[in-house]
A and B are shown apart, each in its own frame.
Chain A
């Protein structure tokens, strides 16, 4: 006797409608980031309207910015910077953090102590502050941003992966493999990793949200992506002058950020339990 809820079933997994909505939002933004140069209605740098902070119109779907440039085109192109930089940075931090975290958990002893202490210390520098300090020291460019964001979120990924791996490490099947005489690399790759990969990927999604938020924050402060390029945070900064009269140019870049981060959150929150708690 079974009853089924509002679930979509595919490839052995089921996703509910809210999760599907999140998934669609993420896919749309990913497509936009890839195809941006070919789908922008106007060249992004070109002043196309005599009016600045122009309203929504047939010609300019999302209005124009403080110089009279088309906001829709700038948002579509901005997706490249926001999604691209965040994705590379989060991949960097997660692969580094997860590798170190699993190694620390499996090897244990002094290696674990030193790595944990060091990365915990790094974690106790507030993320925005870290960004500020680095930009003050080195100046801002896209590679510097990617590296900085990557370093900032490595300790979090480390801590998360280590905690999961420590639990797995106490399981009897790891003890069995140890008693069989297996080496550290086999233990990490074959016994631990397959059992934490689900939660680790979910965590990567959440960390992607943090990265997007921090990048936008830094750009908003003028420390992130530098003109003439602009990610969504920089678009808000450029057009903040339109805020007192509620110009669309300042609202829509914010909406773009929110739609992406909320979309990822919805997707992660509604992932099947099967993926999220593989470790249990």
Chain B
């Protein structure tokens, strides 16, 4: 047998809450050679994590390997006893989880957990294990390698934990490491550091790897071969270069096309609107959470004196990483979180700080759409009830008018009229987000605040939502304030962009992303976005001072 891993005709079944048994992996076969890194690419529900876990002879609760062989180093993982599997786990195959923050036991020190594999399998004396851990901490470029092991998981940052979880997986020199979306939860500026650390350690050790991800650009940097999955089946397998340059399957081509830069051309003519007063004028907003201090400001300040304006018919993008205050900004404008200082002038009127103090007409003209489509729709109501409420509330429509209008709204967001009798749980993620949009449209607003509305969606679905937004804008003359951490999304829809960092607006780019950023943080942020080119990571040179100043590692 030549290959380290040979999966043949793997089938996995899942049992639903109602007791139904569904096959979720339909006969998958793939190989991994010694020292080779193979990426499993696919959307949520494609079965990529399930396949990766089968290599450890493990299926999550409710799932069961129902057929096929999973040969690892000549042994079939599906046929081994619990005890035999336990002996292989950690020593021969190891696992780097998606969320390291959840995968570390909060009650034990980091060192105890990093060297736990050596204790379980009795591989080496403790001092030697700690010495090895220290080497790995250095190799993974962790700060304070000498003392970090004595800390508890909640005392270190997410990026550090992710690298520590790699140290945990590598401590016993496994033959194969499974990376389960290890950088998905991280910000782009942090992701680079972590990716680099993974890549260098894997290359040095000559280990084989399975890298599970939904992000082609990330995978392009680290994988030798790419396996494209959808709905529990393999669509395409090829070397990284081959999949990127000459994709064979239409779905792969669709995934790749989402990466093509699309610059947005505004339908509005700036020379016409420039004379009118701005639609939204935000003046020196300071807001936050926690008890109010002596100076009248809250303890935790999420926004520090942020100002900007948005002209009618134009789209403003707000970008920044998690915790920069971009979502707080939207909540303040919508009146969900009253600001401590500053003014919001919308459509020529000064807005009350809280939604409760605003007039119905003011509220109607400004609508918000949220990131998580499923929590934004009441699961106990039908789509018709959800869409009819703003019609009754803002426009006082009677039953017949509402019914007709709900159908119109569903047409506008390209959903079949039959969905109005269903509940949110019966719709897909993309459909739910369309319903959310329809609910905002029901108010007939002038401005829609979009808070990361495509972030939780798969690439192809997200692209379709963006197209819909543009179409609606042409038809209805709306304006959008579009909040996102994803540059390409913002690029595709916005005329102007502001960049936020740590509660402050650091840069304003009046012509969108066509111009080069000037602020050092914007430069770091923009250059950190992975590109489809496999040589991107190796050739990327970041100013180390810039990185240490801004990236929260």
Q: Interface on A for B, CB 8 Å cutoff?
A: 1-5, 7, 14, 171-173, 175-182, 190-191, 194-195, 273-274, 278
Contact = CB atoms under 8 A, between A and B. Distances in A.
B23 A1 contact: yes
22 contacts: A2-B20, A2-B22, A3-B19, A3-B21, A4-B19, A7-B19, A172-B370, A172-B376, A173-B377, A175-B370, A176-B376, A178-B336, A179-B355, A179-B368, A180-B390, A180-B393, A191-B378, A194-B378, A194-B380, A195-B378, A278-B379, A278-B380
Contact of B358 (A1, A176, A181): A181
B421 interface: no
Contacts of B360: 181
Contacts of B380: 194-195, 278
A247 to B, nearest CB: 46
A176 B21 contact: no
A191 B19 CA distance: 30
Contacts, number: 66
B17 interface: yes
B381 interface: yes
Nearest to A181: B363
B375 A173 contact: yes
Given A172-B375, A176-B439, 6 more contacts: A176-B368, A177-B389, A180-B389, A180-B443, A181-B393, A194-B380
Contact of B336 (A3, A175, A278): A175
A172 B386 CA distance: 13
Contacts of B443: 180
B264 interface: no
Given A180-B363, A195-B380, A278-B379, A172 B19 contact: no
B334 A179 contact: yes
A165 to B, nearest CB: 13
A51 to B, nearest CB: 54
A195 B379 contact: yes
A12 to B, nearest CB: 11
Interface in B365-406: 368, 370, 372, 375-381, 389-390, 393-394
B258 to A, nearest CB: 26
6 A-B pairs closest in CB distance:
A194-B380, A172-B376, A172-B370, A5-B19, A173-B378, A172-B375
B335 interface: yes
Contacts of B376: 171-173, 176
B370 A194 contact: no
Interface of B: 17-23, 334-336, 355-356, 358, 360, 363, 368, 370, 372, 375-381, 389-390, 393-394, 439, 443
B393 A182 contact: yes
Nearest to B22: A1
A178 B355 contact: yes
From A181, A182, A190, A278, residue with most partner B Cβ within 10 Å:
A181
Interface residues of B: mostly helix, strand, loop or mixed? loop
A79 B260 CA distance: 74
From B336, B368, B378, B381, residue with most partner A Cβ within 10 Å:
B378
A173 B370 CA distance: 9
Given A179-B363, A181-B355, A195-B379, A2 B21 contact: yes
Contacts of A176: 368, 370, 376, 439
From A2, A175, A180, A194, residue with most partner B Cβ within 10 Å:
A180
A160 B498 CA distance: 44
A46 to B, nearest CB: 53
Nearest to B377: A173
B334 to A, nearest CB: 5
Contacts of B375: 171-173
A145 B390 CA distance: 47
A33 B380 CA distance: 35
Contacts of A173: 375-378
Contact of B381 (A1, A3, A180, A194): A194
Contacts of B355: 178-179, 181
A195 B375 CA distance: 12
Contacts of A4: 19-20
Nearest to B386: A173
Contacts of B389: 177, 180, 190
A178 B356 CA distance: 8
Contacts of A273: 17-18
A130 B358 CA distance: 48
Nearest to A170: B375
From A171, A173, A176, A182, residue with most partner B Cβ within 10 Å:
A176
A175 B19 CA distance: 35
A142 B147 CA distance: 69
A3 B377 contact: no
A103 B214 CA distance: 43
A278 B226 CA distance: 40
B26 to A, nearest CB: 11
A274 B379 CA distance: 12
Nearest to B385: A190
A179 B336 contact: yes
B372 A172 contact: yes
Contacts of A190: 381, 389
Contacts of A195: 378-380
B62 to A, nearest CB: 12
Contacts of B19: 3-5, 7
A256 to B, nearest CB: 34
B361 to A, nearest CB: 10
A175 B368 CA distance: 10
B145 to A, nearest CB: 39
A178 B17 CA distance: 33
Nearest to A174: B378
A195 B20 CA distance: 25
A175 B376 CA distance: 8
A145 to B, nearest CB: 36
Nearest to A191: B378
Contacts of B334: 179
Contacts of B18: 14, 273
A1 B370 contact: no
A194 B18 CA distance: 22
From B19, B22, B358, B363, residue with most partner A Cβ within 10 Å:
B19
B338 to A, nearest CB: 12
A41 to B, nearest CB: 44
A145 B255 CA distance: 68
A2 B394 CA distance: 46
Contacts of B336: 175, 178-179
A144 to B, nearest CB: 38
A238 B22 CA distance: 58
Contacts of A2: 20-22
Nearest to A1: B23
Contacts of A177: 389
B364 to A, nearest CB: 8
A212 to B, nearest CB: 30
Given A173-B377, A173-B378, A179 B335 contact: yes
Nearest to B369: A176
Contacts of B23: 1
Contacts of A180: 363, 389-390, 393-394, 443
Nearest to A2: B20
